[in-house]
Amino acid sequence: MKALPITIVIACLFAGQLFAQSSAKKVLVLYENGGHHLAFSKRAMPWLDSIATARHWQLDYSTTAAVIDDSSLQQYKLVLQLDYPPYTWPDAAVKAFEAYISQGKGGWVGLHHATLLGEFDGYPMWNWFSSFMGDIRFKDYIAKFATGTVEVENSKHPVMKGLPASFTVSNEEWYTYDKSPRPNVQVLARVNESTYTPASDKQMGDHPVVWTNPRMKARNVYIFMGHSPSHFNNNAYTKLLANALTWAIGEKK
């Protein structure tokens, strides 16, 4: 058998590369490029890149929701709100995102700032997003941060696969809301407020921190924890986030 000319070999390799790129699942990552959550975003990005390489995903990073419209969202299998808030979104982005989630056009994972729901910086409450997150409204937070124990409630859900029954999360802000989202969502984990160190009087009682909304056609997961870059040194946290991403995009871990 004759050896193939080197030009044909190179052409085949190039064609294979193009096919791999075109067939890769695309993920839109919205992140804040300023403020005190920037350190988290910067630490998260290389970790996300490593997951994308292993899973053969293509990540597109954006610091603005203005990139979102009906046409642009068609190319994405997953939207990740990496500490990106639910305000400042243009009307076209709002409408496109609502359809994306309610019609199950792709998956969604939101972290931390994604439940900063209310009137902020002159922007009105996004009522649909509040309903999506369990009909809640941001109330307060532990400004000086605290360590807390997260307790798994639904160990059988794929997002919680391989996690211990409880694990510690340090240096977190621990938001409180006007009420628990529990009646309107499927809670996967809660924080045990009695474990706060230092202790804090900013408590909810029933305090879910990981949940999904099964009323939406899109696979969706909200993970409250997402303030400190040190979370990426926490094996339980990175396991939780990796599980959430792969489940929401429709793959097995």
**pLDDT tens digit string along 176-229?**
999 999 999 999 999 999 999 999 999 999 999 999 999 999 999 999 999 999
Amino acid, single-letter form, for residue 244 = A
CB-neighbour burial class of residue 161 (10 A; exposed 0-12, middle 13-18, buried 19+) = middle
CA distances from 129 to 44, 88, 99, 213, 239 (A): 24, 13, 12, 11, 26
Res. 14: pLDDT tops 50: no
Domains of the chain, residue spans:
25-248
103 pLDDT band (50/70/90 cuts)? very high
Q: What is the pLDDT of residue 2?
A: 52
Q: What is the pLDDT of residue 159?
A: 98
How confident is the prediction for the chain on average, in pLDDT?
92
Q: Domain 25-248: which CATH class?
A: alpha beta
Total-model pTM: 0.91
Tally of CA atoms within 13 A in the half-sphere of 100 that contains its CB: 26
Q: With pLDDT > 90 as the criterion, what percentage of the chain qualifies?
A: 86
Q: What is the pLDDT of residue 218?
A: 98
